[in-house]
Amino acid sequence: MNLELRHLKVVCAIAETGSVTKAASQLGLAQPALTAQLQRIERTLGGALFDRDRRGARPTALGELVLSRARVLLPAMKGLQDEAARLAAGGSSTLTRYRMGAIGGPVFAHMLHRISAVQPEAQISTYASYYVDELATMVLNGKLDFAQVGVCGDALPSAEYGLMWDTIAVDAVCVLMREDHPQAKGHEVDLAELASEQWSAAAGDGCFETCFAAACARAGFAPRRVLETDARACIDMVELGVAIGLCQPTFRPPAGLTTRPLKGAPLRWRLILGWHPESQAARTAPQLLELGREAYQDVIARNEGYVEWMREQAAAA
């Protein structure tokens, strides 16, 4: 039998989990099948790779040698596959296909509209996810050209993905509430006045939950409860008066609901665009950023109250 990369993955899985049974579960194999495969690997290499007993599996000296090589070879092969995927997505200096990932929202929709207006012949495909890490990984692996995501305040996604990120816009976070809510009478809302409220929030990753809790603490209270669910259910909760929510000022509320910026802008939301610097998409990134910023202006202009509030903030600064 010739040793293959899949065999090295088996050895690494057993070492990482410390158990053939746990490794079998992680790899989606039956335990007897994995045991038989390990025995074939050991016969090929000429000795036992693990000392196994009721406490689990621990690498032998030979096992440590194989693991040291596997931990170099497997990431190298993954890197080769990623580079090949990015190269395969290349071609001419101008993109004719845009594979766009996004958390969603009206700015993304308007960006796609502007791409279609500038390049009517371009093929556009989209992928939606609540999770920045998932979209960043897909760009890194060459499965997406761009990721349009949102992050809290001055944060940026993890540098481990090696992507370039640039800002489309930064907004003050707003409160979503019913039009008959007592705090909806003014043109902004003091967070401290919402201490008794229950909150709804959409799923996602990043530091926003922590930043929200910190902003509430600075306002003198701990949030009563945050109900995490999908975006549609969040809106339903606000409509029913079960909770209030947080949203971007680009969000257009349905009839009966309204948005108000938080006084002093204790929370901010940054819309950013990401791409791989070595991909063909990198050449198109400046143009796409400009289209994204134009799309943002299209959308934010619909919220006249927020635009006026921003003018007041700028004048008072």
313 CA to centre of own chain: 30
Domain endpoint, select from 69, 88, 107: 88
Look up the CATH number of the domain holding residue 36: 1.10.10.10
Compute the distance between CA of residue 47 and CA of residue 51 in angstroms, rounded to an integer.
11
Compute the distance between CA of residue 220 and CA of residue 194 in angstroms, rounded to an integer.
11
Number of domains making up the chain: 2
pTM equals: 0.68
Residue 279 is encoded by which pair of tokens?
């991909």
Compute the distance between CA of residue 166 and CA of residue 148 in angstroms, rounded to an integer.
10
Q: What is the pLDDT of residue 92?
A: 47
Residues of the chain with pLDDT under 50: 91-93
Q: Are residues 125 and 255 in the same domain?
A: yes
Q: What is the pLDDT of residue 87?
A: 60
The residue range of the domain holding 310 is 95-317
Give whole-number Cα distances, 296 to 99, 151, 255, in Å: 20, 16, 22
Q: Are residues 153 and 181 in the same domain?
A: yes
3 CA to centre of own chain: 37
Domain endpoint, select from 58, 88, 118: 88
Q: What is the pLDDT of residue 94?
A: 59
Q: What is the pLDDT of residue 260?
A: 95
**C-beta of residue 106 within 8 angstroms of C-beta of residue 300:** no
Q: Are residues 70 and 176 in the same domain?
A: no
**pLDDT tens digits for 19-40?**
999 999 888 888 888 899 999 9
Q: Are residues 61 and 131 in the same domain?
A: no
Q: What is the pLDDT of residue 155?
A: 77
Q: What angle do CA 302, 264, 267 make, to 5 degrees?
A: 75
Residue 218's identity, in one-letter code, is R
Q: Are residues 38 and 134 in the same domain?
A: no
Domain endpoint, select from 72, 88, 104: 88
**CA torsion, ordered 280, 284, 288, 290, to nearest 10 deg:** 150
- Beta strand 257-261 pairing with 226-229: unpaired
Q: Are residues 144 and 84 in the same domain?
A: no
Q: What is the pLDDT of residue 79?
A: 73
